[in-house]
Every structure is written in C-alpha cells, then in structure tokens.
Amino acid sequence: MSSVGAQIKRGSAELAVLTLLAKHRLHGYEIAKRIEEQTGGILRFDMASLYPLLHCLERKSWVKAEWQTLPNGRRRRCYRLTAAGRKQLAPLRAQWRAFFHALQSVTGFQNA
C-alpha cells in the first residue's frame, strides 16, 4: 500500500476529524482508531498529531470536550461537534470535493 504524503494528511486531518465528530461523540483514542479503520490504515494518527489538532479545534470552538464516565467505569474526554463546527464542515467538504474533481480532471484518476 503506497503512503500518502504528510502534507496531504495534515490538510485532510481536520476534515476527517470533524466528519467523524458530526456523527458521534468520541474520545481521542476512538477517533484515531475509527479513522485508521475506515481509511484502511492510510490515515493514521499518532498522539503527537491528534491531540494538538483536537485542542486546536477546541480553541476555535468547532468542537467541545467533556469528561465522561464510560460504561467500563473509565473517565475519558469525549469530543463532539459544536454548531460552529457544523457550519464549518459543509464548506470544508465542498472545498475538498472541488479539489478532488480538479485533480481528477487533470490526472484522469477514477473514483474507487
């Protein structure tokens, strides 16, 4: 499996995290695990990149974090998308869609 460049990963990280949090309330480990599973391992977050991103999104008020006690009795800081974050998601998705369409017309790549 070929690796995806670091810059491409960085740019898409925000979109991936916001999209996931739009559907679920998740803590950091779950976010990383789901993204890795759903992308077949192409997008993989380590702690050094995930938590700074989450805290950055929190500072922008796009996500909100709250401590919750999970059914297994452990305390985890769970993130959810805020209304402001939800407003950001649609234009972000549109930008990436336009980007991929543009790339597709130049390279001739077809969707999988």
One of 76, 82, 89, 92 touching other proteins (CB under 8 A): 76
Residues 51, 11, 64: CA angle, nearest 5 degrees: 40
Using the minimum distance from each CB to other proteins, give the nearer residue, 38 or 68. Answer: 68
Least distance (Å) from other proteins to the CB of residue 24?
11
- Residue 82 φ/ψ region, left for φ over 0, alpha for ψ in the -120 to 50 degree band, beta for the rest: beta
Rounded Cα–Cα distance for residues 3 and 68 (Å)? 35
Between residue 8 and residue 47, which ones bind other proteins under the rule CB under 8 A? 25, 27-30, 32-33, 46-47
- Establish if 67 lies at the interface with other proteins (CB under 8 A): yes
From CA 34, how far away is CA 52, in angstroms rounded?
A: 18
Which pair of tokens denotes residue 56?
A: 């950055």
Q: Is 69 one of the binding residues for other proteins (CB under 8 A)?
A: yes
Return residues touching other proteins (CB under 8 A). Answer: 25, 27-30, 32-33, 46-48, 51, 67-69, 74-77
